[in-house]
């Protein structure tokens, strides 16, 4: 950890040597410890400390981007000069809005000292406790447990000086028998917020109940999607539909539907980086303050998120969703999805299902089949259960689904009050906060032998 005062002083010193009309520097630093375990034994501990410093130089409306992971002053200046030379040789971007100006950011505590100082031995003690729980059933336990700390800074020649330090803790675990598996996971800013015993018991119970799974035929079933499964669907829908680029190019399933009802009124999806009960963060990678953005409210499309470039084109202000300079061609993408909870109690939702399937999570999902219609396909994994007359009767072999998500979401009949935080690849600055959801129709198109 470099610290706010020293880091901003270094970046502004480099900034002062820029030859460009405008210059932006984005610093992302991270220290991460990871413990991996398999066959109920720890088999790897790794530690990584790295930084990435991105420079954006602007000459008129020509833009150049370069990056380095060296904090040596001469390397920083050289990389900034490289971005300048790249800009010289670029065509003009007529839609370029200029860099952001200085702003005030909401004060959010995203750092926890205990998490930052968590040691390999600390992680090992927790893994040992989780393994002891799986040992009682003679199941093997596998997974990963990481704790990390980092800092993000954005400075530019217009006076932006944004800085935030943060911590994250994530764990996932799979309990395995000869014929079944069960999954659980958690993520938080504070490692103390993770209930490792509860997660281990959840994975073990799922593995136990799903032993000797039966095979059922593909078809349309009622489903209960637990938070991991629901969040995985939404992460893909986010990528192909909730951002400015897909919306502008009309490849998004939300394009042309603002003000129209597309799902059950039980579904409300917002991007809210200021929700301190989730993985909050106060500003984006352009140094613009984050805003709460409704995407779907009670089933009705409200809009998408914007960065400065897309906002100018759409005659809107940035909502604080700019990506890093090297990813800015992707447009704005939500990083902090929050799905509103309902009134149902999670453990009571199963009782409402006459014949259906409970899904813990998905093995993988492909969302590029038909993006304007939000068609996704994927496979269940690590806890797929048959429900009959309001009771789980046992595990079933994994199924492939292929369906239009908006059609399925129109059939929602219950959403749980309880919600979980589900990690994504951007978990240092955001995640998905998801409930369990009951859908009356979900289409399965194939089955497996395991």
Residue 204 and residue 389 in contact, taking contact as beta carbons nearer than 8 Å:
no
pLDDT at 107: 97
Token pair, residue 114, equals 């205990």
> How does pLDDT run across 367-380, given as a tens digit for each residue?
999 999 999 999 99
Residue 392 and residue 386 in contact, taking contact as beta carbons nearer than 8 Å:
yes
> How does pLDDT run across 152-172, given as a tens digit for each residue?
999 999 999 999 999 999 999
pLDDT at 360 over 80: yes
Report, as an integer, the average pLDDT of 187-199: 98
pLDDT at 442 over 90: yes
pLDDT at 213 over 80: yes
Cα 110 to chain centroid distance, Å, stands at 16
Of the candidates 164, 165, 163, 166, the one whose C-alpha atom is nearest the C-alpha of residue 12 is 163
Report, as an integer, the average pLDDT of 63-71: 97
pLDDT at 69: 97
pLDDT interval class at 7 (50, 70, 90): very high
> How does pLDDT run across 92-145, given as a tens digit for each residue?
999 999 999 999 999 999 999 999 999 999 999 999 999 999 999 999 999 999
Read off φ and ψ for residue 103, nearest 5 degrees: -150, 165
> How does pLDDT run across 319-353, given as a tens digit for each residue?
999 999 999 889 999 999 999 999 999 989 999 99
For the chain, counts of helices (H) and of strands (E): 10, 17
> How does pLDDT run across 388-430, given as a tens digit for each residue?
999 999 999 999 999 999 999 999 999 999 999 999 877 789 9
pLDDT at 424: 87
Of the candidates 277, 347, 286, the one whose C-alpha atom is nearest the C-alpha of residue 321 is 286
Residues in the chain: 450
pLDDT at 86: 98
pLDDT at 62 over 80: yes
Of the candidates 233, 193, 183, 34, the one whose C-alpha atom is nearest the C-alpha of residue 119 is 34
How far is Cα 293 from Cα 321, in angstroms, rounded to an integer?
10
The domains found in the chain, sorted by start residue, are: 4-206 (3.30.2290.10), 213-447 (no CATH)
Q: What's the mean per-residue pLDDT of the chain?
A: 97
pLDDT at 159: 97
Cα 406 to chain centroid distance, Å, stands at 20
346 Rama class: left (phi>0) / alpha (psi -120 to 50) / beta: alpha
pLDDT at 307 over 90: yes
pLDDT at 427: 77
pLDDT at 347: 87
Tally of CA atoms within 13 A in the half-sphere of 315 that contains its CB: 0
pTM for the whole structure: 0.96
């Amino acid at each position: 950890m470099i610290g706010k005062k020293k880091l901003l002083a270094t970046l502004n010193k480099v900034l002062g040597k820029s030859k460009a009309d405008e210059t932006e520097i984005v610093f992302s630093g991270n220290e991460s410890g990871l413990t991996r375990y398999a066959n109920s034994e720890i088999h790897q501990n790794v530690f990584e400390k790295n930084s990435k410093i991105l420079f954006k130089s602007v000459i008129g409306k020509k833009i150049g981007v370069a990056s380095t992971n060296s904090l040596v002053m001469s390397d920083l200046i050289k990389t900034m000069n490289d971005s300048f030379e790249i800009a010289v040789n670029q065509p003009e971007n007529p839609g370029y809005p200029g860099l952001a100006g200085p702003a005030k950011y909401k004060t959010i505590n995203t750092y926890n000292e205990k998490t930052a100082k968590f040691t390999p031995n600390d992680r090992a003690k927790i893994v040992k406790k989780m393994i002891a729980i799986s040992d009682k059933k003679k199941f093997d336990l596998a997974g990963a447990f990481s704790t990390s700390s980092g800092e993000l800074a954005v400075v530019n020649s217009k006076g932006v000086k944004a800085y935030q330090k943060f911590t994250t803790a994530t764990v996932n675990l799979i309990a395995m028998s000869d014929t079944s598996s069960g999954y659980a996971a958690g993520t938080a800013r504070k490692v103390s917020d993770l209930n490792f015993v509860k997660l281990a018991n959840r994975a073990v119970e799922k593995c136990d109940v799903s032993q000797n799974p039966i095979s059922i035929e593909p078809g349309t079933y009622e489903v209960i999607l637990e938070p991991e499964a629901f969040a995985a669907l939404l992460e893909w829908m986010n990528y192909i539909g909730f951002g400015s680029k897909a919306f502008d190019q009309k490849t998004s399933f939300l394009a042309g539907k603002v003000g129209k009802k597309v799902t059950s009124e039980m579904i409300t999806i917002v991007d809210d980086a200021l929700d301190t009960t989730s993985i909050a963060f106060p500003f984006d990678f352009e140094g613009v303050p984050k805003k709460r953005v409704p995407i779907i409210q009670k089933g009705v499309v409200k809009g998408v998120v914007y960065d400065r470039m897309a906002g100018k084109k759409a005659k809107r202000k940035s909502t604080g969703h700019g990506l890093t300079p090297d990813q800015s061609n992707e447009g704005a993408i939500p990083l902090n999805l929050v799905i509103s909870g309902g009134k149902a109690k999670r453990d009571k939702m199963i009782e409402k299902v006459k014949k259906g399937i409970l899904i813990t999570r998905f093995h993988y999902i492909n969302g590029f089949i038909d993006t304007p219609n939000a068609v996704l396909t994927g496979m269940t994994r690590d806890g797929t259960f048959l429900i009959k007359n309001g009771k789980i009767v046992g595990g079933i072999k994994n199924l492939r689904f292929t369906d239009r998500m908006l059609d399925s979401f129109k059939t929602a009949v219950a959403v749980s009050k309880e919600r979980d935080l589900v990690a994504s690849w951007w978990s240092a600055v955001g995640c998905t906060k998801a409930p369990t959801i009951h859908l009356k129709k979900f289409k399965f198109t194939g089955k497996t032998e395991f």
